[in-house]
């Protein structure tokens, strides 16, 4: 029960959100995060919400739900009581009918009575844990399309977007053990080794430089990626979709080392 309840005394998270609300912090949220859970944001009209929440239930690795907000209510009552998802991220991305429209600083004008907010776990939450366990942080994280199908729900379907990190075999074992604990943050890898086995499109990454060949001596490790729900949603072309801008997720009161304990 308690595992996803925000900490009302968490001044650091509240002050960080306030700094983003005021435009005093516009940098990469992760660099300010310490031990806080960072969550991807999705806002869609209520009529799309049932199929989407079931889509997330069916695809917990790419779409781990941290919180589903009440329709029309911008306060994440459990993961960040008192916060306002319309103002408390550093940057938002607006899509209409499946097309990018703009990055904006706040979404008060776009908020509707039937807007439903979703906070979705992110692998950013286990980066520091990997470092503490001896898997060095590397900025070389690729975001790739794959041929792994997600389970459809209503109008939502598509293949999984994945991240790729490469590391030593020993680190791959450590990373598998450790991320397997973070079931709210994509969990264990979906694949280790041969990229072709899961159709990882190395020549056309969504993020990162094209990879001609995996270097000798490293093991590529693949995780489900939070870009998946965004790509899936865009494919269904909702009239209005709002997400965080990449690198600017929502900072919860929740602690990373707490929410991995069921």
Residues that bind a copy of itself (CB under 8 A): 1, 3-4, 49-50, 53-54, 57-62, 65, 67-68, 78, 148, 150-151, 160, 180-183, 187-188, 190, 224, 261-262
Q: Is residue 215 classed exposed, middle or buried when 0-12, 13-18 and 19+ CB atoms within 10 A define those classes? A: exposed
The least distance separating a copy of itself from the CB of residue 155, rounded to whole angstroms, comes to 13
Beta bridge partners of 163: 143, 223
Helices 227-236 & 49-58 angle (0-180, nearest 10): 140
By C-beta, is 94 or 252 nearer to a copy of itself? 252
First CA to last CA across the chain, in angstroms? 9
The encoded tokens of residue 253 equal 């009161």
The least distance separating a copy of itself from the CB of residue 148, rounded to whole angstroms, comes to 6
The least distance separating a copy of itself from the CB of residue 68, rounded to whole angstroms, comes to 5
Q: Are strands 241-244 and 36-45 parallel, antiparallel or unpaired?
A: antiparallel
By C-beta, is 101 or 201 nearer to a copy of itself? 201
The least distance separating a copy of itself from the CB of residue 191, rounded to whole angstroms, comes to 10
Q: Are strands 219-224 and 191-192 parallel, antiparallel or unpaired?
A: antiparallel
Nearest-angstrom CA–CA distance, 28 and 90 = 9
By C-beta, is 94 or 224 nearer to a copy of itself? 224
The least distance separating a copy of itself from the CB of residue 67, rounded to whole angstroms, comes to 8
By C-beta, is 4 or 133 nearer to a copy of itself? 4
By C-beta, is 50 or 100 nearer to a copy of itself? 50
By C-beta, is 182 or 250 nearer to a copy of itself? 182
**Which residue's entry shows tokens 């990626």?**
225
Write a three-state SS string for 163-201: EEEEECHHHHHHHHHHHCCCCCCCCCCCEECCHHHHCCC
The least distance separating a copy of itself from the CB of residue 82, rounded to whole angstroms, comes to 16
> What is the length of the chain?
262
């Amino acid at each position: 029960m308690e595992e996803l309840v925000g900490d009302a005394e968490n001044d650091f998270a509240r002050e960080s959100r306030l700094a983003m609300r005021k435009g005093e912090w516009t940098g990469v949220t992760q660099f300010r995060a310490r031990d806080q859970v960072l969550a991807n944001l999705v806002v869609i009209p209520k009529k799309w919400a049932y199929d989407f929440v079931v889509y997330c239930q069916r695809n917990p690795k790419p779409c781990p739900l941290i919180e589903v907000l009440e329709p029309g209510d911008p306060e994440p009552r459990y993961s960040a009581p008192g916060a306002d998802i319309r103002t408390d991220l550093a940057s938002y991305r607006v899509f209409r009918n499946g097309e990018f429209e703009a990055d904006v600083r706040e979404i008060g004008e776009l908020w509707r009575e039937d807007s439903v907010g979703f906070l979705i776990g992110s692998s950013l939450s286990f980066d520091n844990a990997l470092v503490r366990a001896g898997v060095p942080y590397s900025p070389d994280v690729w975001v790739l399309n794959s041929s792994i199908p997600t389970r459809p729900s209503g109008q939502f379907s598509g293949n999984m977007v994945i991240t790729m990190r490469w590391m030593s075999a020993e680190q791959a074992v450590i990373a598998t053990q450790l991320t397997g604990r973070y079931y709210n943050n994509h969990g264990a890898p979906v694949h280790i080794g041969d990229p072709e086995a899961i159709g990882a499109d190395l020549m056309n990454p969504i993020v990162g430089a094209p990879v001609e060949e995996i270097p000798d001596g490293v093991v590529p490790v693949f995780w489900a990626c939070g870009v998946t729900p965004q790509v899936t949603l865009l494919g269904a072309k909702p009239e209005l979709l709002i997400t965080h801008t990449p690198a600017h997720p929502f900072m919860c009161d929740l602690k990373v080392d707490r929410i991995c304990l069921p």
